[in-house]
Structure 1
Amino acid sequence: MLADVRKIAGLAWPVLIGQLAIIAFGVIDTAMVGRYSAVDLAALGLGSSIYISVYIGLTGILTALQPITAQLYGARRYSEIGEEVRQALWLALALTVIGFLILFFPGPVLHLARVPEALHDRTVAYLRILAFGLPAGLAFRVYSSVTNAVGKPRLVMILQIGALLLKVPLNTWFIFGGLGVPALGGPGCALASTTINWGLAMLGMVLLTRVDVFQPFAIFARFCWPVWRRQAAQLRLGIPMGLSYLIEVTSYTFMALFIARFGTTTLAGHQIAGNIGAVLYMTPLSIGIASSTLVAQALGAHRPEAARTLSRHGIMMAVAIACCYAAIVLALRPFIIEGYTPNAQVVAAALPLVLIVACYHLFDALQITTAFVLRAYKVAVVPTVIYAVALWGVGLGGGYMLGFNVSGVTPEWLTGARGFWVANTASLAIAGIGLLMYWRVVSKRYLHADPALRVDSTA
């Protein structure tokens, strides 16, 4: 077990640092735009929520390239990897058209959200600038999927850290103006992000041609048109994966919208709890990505027993670390919250929610790690159904019932934001246990499967 833990940790820590760098982008945008104007800050919050939903849904589809590439890499079918990457770039181009239209013409979405007139123009400007950065963001996702699949996450981490170092000076320049550039406010951080995304995409494509580990794939050695058979295989796996990402994002977004009805103090407490949960989530997410890479490579090499063992050890590792995190949060809860705000009312609102977060995180670690392991087996449809039933049905539906005391018999301590967090914790427990049971079925099936079908099958 120790050897597996070392392998997983060796791949997980660069992913973790890279993910934290990406989180820092949002923190920097919020802090800097907040100093410019309250209207721009509100438009940033609205625009970023729309952009993130579109971006995560589309990049989730492209993430299918990672298990496909990792299995082929384990099987040493290098020329096929080059073909899959070329097809993924064509797919990214098609997805760009969809995403660009949504972001450049956001009127229907903004109308549905009943956006105040004061925010409308700033939000539209923000989204339209990001629309031009979407192609680069999707291209970089192709690069990161290939890089993680071959066990070289540091090549992604280095670029993400470099991007973070550029974010502050570019934000300062475009938000507040200078050197001939007018002050753009909120749309300025969108311009900074778009500029950085194009830089990352171009560097990623160059590295795919220069780094030794990618040479056998001959990715850009020849031109090819889209091949429907390979496109369909990527979409069969990618669409459910994209939907599962979207379900996760929207379940949290709608929870925040419902909790906003309880007032600004309650919403502020919820934001603190949510931020703590998001930071904690990065560790099991990184372990899940690392475990998925190793499991897929083992499956490609026709070693299903090793894949099953790696899966089990990755899941156990994530849950064990989550237990340690939960203990730390429980012990330091008052101090952590006071680091966010000196407001006594907000602290009082956050305290019970952060207590729930400690339990919530255990099931969050279980579900995300198991979900990534299942993706290594090219399994995504059933997990997506589990997510929809658990997160939308139990999490949002149950949270609404408890939070607003629809039945009239909900205990006082389960109403309000606490009801939503308790229901969301229950939904993650259901999702985690359901995914774990399904992984046991899938991994056993692979032990007895025809070796010729293990790499080519999708589910």
Structure 2
Amino acid sequence: MQETKTLKEKTKYMIKIVLPILITQVALYLMTFFDILMTSKYSIEHLAGVSIGSSLWVPVYTGLTGILLGITPIVAQLIGAKKHEDVRSFVQQGFYIAILLAFFIFIGIIVLIDPILNIIPLEANVREVARKYLLMMCIGLIPLFLYSVLRSFIDALGKTRVSMFVTLLSAPINIALNYVLIYGKFGLPALGGVGAGLASSLTYWLILFITILIVKNNKPFADLHIFQGWTMPSLSKSKVLTKIGLPIGLSLFAETTIFSAVTIMMSVYSTAVISAHQVAMNFTSLLYMIPLSIAMGVTILVGHEVGAKKYQDAKVYSWLGVCTAVVFSFVSVSILIIFREAIAGIYTNDSEVINLAVQFFFFAALFQLSDAIQAPVQGALRGYKDVTITFIMAIISYWVIGLPTGYLLGTYTSYGPFGYWIGLIVGLTIGAITLGTRLVYLQKKFSIVS
């Protein structure tokens, strides 16, 4: 943990923490990005299948790996309080939870995949691509979850450049595997969207092995001996992790599933509409990596300061993160408005899909500011370990208000599929307002304590 006194020093340190996280998130996201992009060049039917499959996969993965993010504020506060001896046991409990979660997801996908896909009104070939894509992704469940634990541990120590290094190594491997497996190179069969799922899973294994080697052999990670002196599963420590991690995971699940729910509800429209929606969502999600990375950095910084009982410094880092994200949101809006047709053309040559995607990009630009506020505010709240109220607010904002609004506008007005995006804007905006209010209240509470 680096001591900072002035706003300038804090800004520099935040950039030092956040920039590697951003590069890491973008590189990780590029795996999904290139799954969609390279599949779109194969066929729009496979693009629609991957779209549906990823819409089911992403919220489950994000929500459950979000539970493992509880390690970050816990370890960050232990480091801030200089309780290094407690770090190893908490990380090991995280490994146990990760394996358990991976097992339950695998069973859930095997049992529920066909009933769920049969409920969704899809063309037969689109449904089959979605099914096989999900089965291929299951191959990477265990390494993906174990890596999430290691990354949370690494980032909590403030060594975010290490995560960046690992992910940058794996990204080109994923692209190469996509090329071989999607299009059928070097004598292998062309698997289309199914090959994209297999390529991602193989890459997750690579990420895990590289990270284990780094943590075992390099300081400061090796000094904490997380792979030595294995403790038995501890109910008390697991409760601490899940008490923090479960609300984080559920909050992320609530946020990501609303996007996935919109995609699935839009399956009543044509393949072109589904594909255009996925193109817009895919690129918008790439832009979201900026406020998300700032949020993850703010969690680490606030966690360190709260652990050291430096509550004023924690407050400064919280709002510094929000202001930085807001500034970048205007850049995102400009990109979406000015270059939306060119961006759509990167994904596909289909004129109908391009025209629809351009319209979706306009609505995507409208919720950039809300995203820029709510993401770092959530990150700050996690640094304070304030997660339960955050989860409740997320449920109300996204599911009680946002999704029903989108459904009503999409079903009963002339907005059609664009009505769902208006609902997203409403939900994200209300989320930003309520979460911001919660952060202000919490900081006042801590200032009284100090």
TM value normalised by structure 1: 0.88
In 1, the alpha carbon distance for the partners of 2:80 and 2:426 equals 37
Residues 314, 369 of structure 1: 8 Å contact kept: yes
Q: Which residue, 94, 98, 104 being the options, matches 1:92? A: 98
Structure 2 counterparts to residues 348-387 of structure 1, below 5 A: 349-387=356-394
Q: Counterpart in 1 of 2:8?
A: 2
Structure 2 counterparts to residues 236-247 of structure 1, below 5 A: 236-247=243-254
Would the alpha carbon gap of residues 273 and 168 (structure 1) be closer, same or farther in structure 2, given more than 3 Å must change? Answer: closer
In 2, the alpha carbon distance for the partners of 1:346 and 1:177 equals 25
Give the residue type in structure 2 aligned to 1:171. Answer: N
Q: Which residue, 265, 268, 276 being the options, matches 1:258? A: 265
After superposition, give the CA deviation of every residue in 1:265-302 in whole Å (9 maximum; x if it has no partner).
55555444433422221111111111111110111111
In 2, the alpha carbon distance for the partners of 1:13 and 1:42 equals 33
* Structure 1 unmatched runs, 5+: 451-459
Aligned pair 1:128/2:132, yes or no?
A: no
After superposition, give the CA deviation of every residue in 1:379-414 in whole Å (9 maximum; x if it has no partner).
111111111111112211011122222xxxx6x5xx
Q: CA deviation at 1:355?
A: 3.3
Give the residue type in structure 2 aligned to 1:129. Answer: M
Residues 262, 416 of structure 1: 8 Å contact kept: no
Residues 104, 127 of structure 1: 8 Å contact kept: no
Residues 103, 130 of structure 1: 8 Å contact kept: no
Pick which of 80-89 and 35-44 moved more.
35-44
Q: Counterpart in 2 of 1:144?
A: 151
Pick which of 37-46 and 424-433 moved more.
37-46
Q: Counterpart in 2 of 1:45?
A: 51
Q: Which residue, 73, 81, 88 being the options, matches 2:87? A: 81
Q: CA deviation at 1:45?
A: 3.1
After superposition, give the CA deviation of every residue in 1:5-54 in whole Å (9 maximum; x if it has no partner).
22222222211122222222123223444555665544433333322232
After superposition, give the CA deviation of every residue in 1:344-366 in whole Å (9 maximum; x if it has no partner).
66565455543333331001110
Q: Counterpart in 1 of 2:443?
A: 443
Q: For residue 102 of structure 1, give the secondary structure of its aligned residue in structure 2.
A: helix
Pick which of 233-242 and 248-257 moved more.
248-257
Pick which of 111-120 and 241-250 moved more.
111-120
* Structure 2 unmatched runs, 5+: 1-6
User: How many pairs does the alignment contain?
Assistant: 443
Q: Which residue, 232, 247, 254 being the options, matches 2:239? A: 232
Would the alpha carbon gap of residues 375 and 265 (structure 1) be closer, same or farther in structure 2, given more than 3 Å must change? Answer: same
Structure 2 counterparts to residues 149-228 of structure 1, below 5 A: 149-177=156-184, 182-228=189-235
Q: CA deviation at 1:253?
A: 1.7
Q: Counterpart in 1 of 2:27?
A: 21
Would the alpha carbon gap of residues 229 and 101 (structure 1) be closer, same or farther in structure 2, given more than 3 Å must change? Answer: same
In 1, the alpha carbon distance for the partners of 2:300 and 2:94 equals 18
In 1, the alpha carbon distance for the partners of 2:380 and 2:151 equals 18
Residues 394, 424 of structure 1: 8 Å contact kept: no
Structure 2 counterparts to residues 317-356 of structure 1, below 5 A: 317-332=324-339, 336=343, 349-356=356-363
In 2, the alpha carbon distance for the partners of 1:60 and 1:151 equals 19
Residues 298, 307 of structure 1: 8 Å contact kept: yes
Q: Counterpart in 2 of 1:306?
A: 313
Would the alpha carbon gap of residues 121 and 267 (structure 1) be closer, same or farther in structure 2, given more than 3 Å must change? Answer: closer
Residues 40, 347 of structure 2: 8 Å contact kept: no
Q: For residue 213 of structure 1, give the secondary structure of its aligned residue in structure 2.
A: coil
Residues 48, 274 of structure 2: 8 Å contact kept: no
Q: CA deviation at 1:161?
A: 1.3
Q: Which residue, 249, 258, 272 being the options, matches 2:256? A: 249
Q: Counterpart in 2 of 1:454?
A: none
Give the fraction of aligned pairs with identical amino acids, expressed as a percent: 28
In 2, the alpha carbon distance for the partners of 1:268 and 1:257 equals 12
Residues 144, 204 of structure 2: 8 Å contact kept: yes
Q: Counterpart in 1 of 2:4?
A: none
In 1, the alpha carbon distance for the partners of 2:426 and 2:372 equals 13
Pick which of 214-223 and 174-183 moved more.
174-183
Aligned pair 1:403/2:410, yes or no?
A: yes
Residues 41, 347 of structure 2: 8 Å contact kept: no
Pick which of 438-447 and 344-353 moved more.
344-353
Residues 72, 155 of structure 2: 8 Å contact kept: yes
Q: Counterpart in 1 of 2:429?
A: 429
Would the alpha carbon gap of residues 303 and 188 (structure 1) be closer, same or farther in structure 2, given more than 3 Å must change? Answer: same
In 1, the alpha carbon distance for the partners of 2:192 and 2:320 equals 47
Q: Counterpart in 2 of 1:278?
A: 285
In 1, the alpha carbon distance for the partners of 2:127 and 2:417 equals 29
In 1, the alpha carbon distance for the partners of 2:212 and 2:177 equals 23
Give the residue type in structure 2 aligned to 1:70. Answer: A
In 1, the alpha carbon distance for the partners of 2:359 and 2:190 equals 42
In 2, the alpha carbon distance for the partners of 1:191 and 1:332 equals 32
Pick which of 109-118 and 333-342 moved more.
333-342
Would the alpha carbon gap of residues 342 and 200 (structure 1) be closer, same or farther in structure 2, given more than 3 Å must change? Answer: closer
Give the residue type in structure 1 aligned to 2:167. Answer: Q
